[in-house]
Amino acid sequence: MLSKLLIKNYALIDALEIQFDQKLNIITGETGAGKSIIMGALGLILGQRAESRHFYDATAKCVIEGHFDIQKYALADLFHELDLDYEDHSIIRRELLADGKSRAFVNDTPVTLQTLKTLGERLIDIHSQHATLQINTESFQLFVLDTMAQHMEVITNYKLSYKQHKKLLAEWKALQEELENSKSVYDYHQFLYTELEQANLQVSEQEMLETEQTQLENAEDIKKHLHLATAQLQNTDQNLIDGLKTVNQSIQQASRYLPLASVLNDRLSSAIIELKDIAAELEQASDGIQMDEERLKWVNERLSLLYSLQKKHRTDSVDALIRMRDEFANKLLDTDSLEGKISNLKKEIDNTFLKLADLAALITKNRLAAGLLVEQEVQSVLNRVGMPHAQLKVDRREVQEFKSNGLDEVNFLFSANKGQGLQAISKVASGGELSRVMLAIKSLLAKTSALPTIIFDEIDTGISGEVALKVGELMEELAQDMQVISITHLPQIASQGNSHFKVFKNDVGDRTKSSIVLLKESDRVMEIAQMLSGSKPEDTAILHAKELLK
């Protein structure tokens, strides 16, 4: 619960400290006295953004500090999840600096506003006049049912499964589109692949064929010149090799008298051996050259195929054609593998669908039971606060497709008077009726959710007299299980509190300042009497105030 609130240098507040009671706390004061300022300051330590930088003293920083006694509320795990040090008596502090910067701390650990908001949602529920409009939204109505059903673990599991299901569906859709695109060109890729595959392409084949083509086309000329070269070396009457042998013998004779001739003779002998080898290879090459018209025809046709494929695929080599063939093969394999992926993904989708269906069915079952409880409890409370013929009906309709919160669409139907048909609550409930319905729902939720503190910020619009007294009694009962803080203009509600604070403004020099004071019993009688009849209450008003306080 909120045990203490400190506010320094905020709006019209110079500095104040409020020590709250653990049960029902009443805050009263004239319009504009500063009650909304206190609520605004409290909102800042619960994670709300600072919408203005209005300081009492523009040269100093603003500090709001809340002290919370939370030892009974099992919040240690939440603190651990938020990476915070847990203390039974925890302090949340928010600082607004004059340069527009803001800092927040939990037990002196710096935190983000999101952390403050997450923690604040587990500490305090603030219900204002504006919040009454929440009852018209489906999200709030589902929240009411889910809170009453106490199946938040099931809801969490459903949302995780729903998120996974949506993700798988998105992946499946993307793969389906990819497959459709692949199939649209599959046959074309298959044709191109088959054409290249049947061509039986070989690395460096074109170069070898072009060389062979040249030889076959010029075989006769090649053979003639090789034959002439061979004859000159060794086949004519005066062939080159025999002539060199004669030269060799002459040099050999000279070497007996000239040492240099011996060296030259050795070199000439080596040249004769090399020429013999050349002649032999020339003869062998000449014998290998054949006039083969059929082979030439095949080579020409093969090269023509290779050239046409290169032109078709806009490339200049057989190696590039081979790479293209392999790429087409991979594309065909990718299309086949896509079908396998889609098939496997469909199985996962079916499994998550079944899981979602089971969880959604359990959620629906729990909500139906919770809906009956909400109808009974709200009607009971409304009967107590002056609406004996009011009815609240939880209308549920099942949708065909999974939503983020299940398969249910709900609508709270309401009838305030006997014989009046049930309609959507937003269409038939007045402001005062909405306030009482919301109070009934909030009191029900508070018992279920076990929040430490609930604040009712002027929700008494449209009620008065005996009804207001019953509303005050309801708040007092609610305060037996949790801390309640009620900001009110009604004396009937103000009289029910365990502690009663009055907010007021006074002028200090040339400044107006808001302050708050805990009223003593005698001061409380006067405050309630003034709420009954004005600033100068008569004896009857004072007597009435005393009766209310009893």
Q: What percent of the chain has pLDDT over 70?
A: 92
Among 281, 311, 336, the domain boundary falls at 336
pLDDT for residue 26: 94
Q: Are residues 207 and 307 in the same domain?
A: yes
Q: Which range scores top for mean pLDDT: 197-201, 210-214, 374-378, 467-471? A: 374-378
Model pLDDT for residues 524-540, shown as the tens digit of each residue: 999 999 988 887 888 88
Q: Are residues 215 and 94 in the same domain?
A: no
Closest residue by Cα to residue 117 from 148, 82, 73, 156: 82
Q: Is 162 part of a structural domain of the chain?
A: no
Which of 51-60, 233-242, 396-405 is predicted least confidently? 233-242
Model pLDDT for residues 67-115, shown as the tens digit of each residue: 999 998 888 988 999 999 999 999 999 999 887 788 999 999 999 999 9
Rounded to whole angstroms, the Cα distance separating 430 from 233 reads: 127
pLDDT for residue 198: 84
Q: Cα–Cα–Cα angle for 485, 491, 493, nearest 5°?
A: 40
By CB atoms closer than 10 A (0-12, 13-18, 19+), residue 419 is exposed
Q: Report the pLDDT averaged over residues 403-424.
A: 89
Q: Are residues 210 and 331 in the same domain?
A: yes
Model pLDDT for residues 247-257, shown as the tens digit of each residue: 777 777 777 76
Nearest-Å Rg of the Cα atoms of the chain is 49
Rounded to whole angstroms, the Cα distance separating 400 from 395 reads: 17
Rounded to whole angstroms, the Cα distance separating 61 from 515 reads: 19
The three-state secondary structure class of 273 is helix
**Which pair of structure tokens corresponds to residue 538?**
């008569």
Going by their DSSP bridges, the two strands 483-487 and 13-19 should be labelled as unpaired
Q: Is 500 part of a structural domain of the chain?
A: yes
Q: Are residues 107 and 197 in the same domain?
A: no
Q: Which long-range contacts (CB under 8 A, 24 or more apart) does 104-107 make?
A: 104/45, 106/82
Total tally of structural domains belonging to the chain: 2
The sheet that has 124-128: what strands, in order across it?
124-128, 453-457, 483-487, 24-28, 499-508, 511-518
Q: Is 373 part of a structural domain of the chain?
A: no
Q: Please give the C-alpha separations between residue 376 and each of 93, 393, 408, in angstroms, as whole numbers.
A: 41, 9, 21
Q: Are residues 205 and 286 in the same domain?
A: yes
- DSSP H helical segments within 10-111, as ranges? 35-45, 76-81
Q: How confident is the model at residue 425 (pLDDT cuts 50, 70, 90)?
A: confident
Model pLDDT for residues 180-214, shown as the tens digit of each residue: 776 666 666 767 778 878 888 888 888 888 877 87
Among 306, 336, 366, the domain boundary falls at 336
> What's the pTM value of the predicted model, to 2 decimals?
0.66
CATH code: domain of residue 491: 3.40.50.300
Among 284, 306, 336, the domain boundary falls at 336
Q: Please give the C-alpha separations between residue 163 and each of 102, 107, 140, 168, 366, in angstroms, as whole numbers.
A: 35, 35, 21, 9, 21
pLDDT for residue 184: 62
Provide the 10 A C-beta neighbour count for residue 209: 18
187 vs 63, which has greater pLDDT?
63
Q: Is 137 part of a structural domain of the chain?
A: no
Rounded to whole angstroms, the Cα distance separating 421 from 424 reads: 10
Q: Are residues 106 and 218 in the same domain?
A: no
Q: Are residues 117 and 198 in the same domain?
A: no
Q: Are residues 97 and 213 in the same domain?
A: no
Q: Is 93 part of a structural domain of the chain?
A: yes
β-strand partners of 62: 96
Q: Are residues 98 and 228 in the same domain?
A: no
Rounded to whole angstroms, the Cα distance separating 256 from 165 reads: 106
> Cα torsion for 354, 355, 361, 362, to the nearest 10°?
160
pLDDT for residue 472: 87
Dihedral sign, Cα of residue 10, residue 16, residue 22, residue 24? negative
Q: How confident is the model at residue 336 (pLDDT cuts 50, 70, 90)?
A: low
Dihedral sign, Cα of residue 449, residue 453, residue 457, residue 462? positive
Q: Is 79 part of a structural domain of the chain?
A: yes
Q: Are residues 215 and 114 in the same domain?
A: no
**Which pair of structure tokens corresponds to residue 45?**
């330590």
pLDDT for residue 384: 86
> Cα torsion for 508, 511, 512, 514, to the nearest 10°?
-70
Closest residue by Cα to residue 120 from 48, 23, 35: 48
Q: What percent of the chain has pLDDT over 90?
A: 29
Q: Report the pLDDT averaged over residues 453-474.
A: 82
pLDDT at 237 exceeding the cut of 70 = no
pLDDT for residue 88: 92
pLDDT at 235 exceeding the cut of 70 = no
Mean pLDDT of the chain: 84
pLDDT at 547 exceeding the cut of 70 = yes
**Which pair of structure tokens corresponds to residue 207?**
């170069």
Q: Is 502 part of a structural domain of the chain?
A: yes
Q: How confident is the model at residue 333 (pLDDT cuts 50, 70, 90)?
A: low
Q: Please give the C-alpha separations between residue 280 and each of 224, 229, 237, 242, 288, in angstroms, as whole numbers.
A: 16, 11, 18, 15, 12
Write down the residue that tokens 């999974």 correspond to: 402
Model pLDDT for residues 290-323, shown as the tens digit of each residue: 767 887 888 888 888 888 888 888 888 888 888 8
Residue 479 amino acid letter: A
Q: Is 368 part of a structural domain of the chain?
A: no
Q: Which residues contact 177 (CB under 8 A, 6 or more apart)?
A: none
Closest residue by Cα to residue 132 from 469, 511, 433: 433
Q: Are residues 201 and 287 in the same domain?
A: yes
Q: How confident is the model at residue 355 (pLDDT cuts 50, 70, 90)?
A: very high
Q: Are residues 96 and 201 in the same domain?
A: no
Closest residue by Cα to residue 81 from 111, 51, 45: 111
Q: Report the pLDDT averaged over residues 481-487.
A: 90
Provide the 10 A C-beta neighbour count for residue 7: 28
Q: Which residue range(s) make up the domain with 264?
A: 193-336
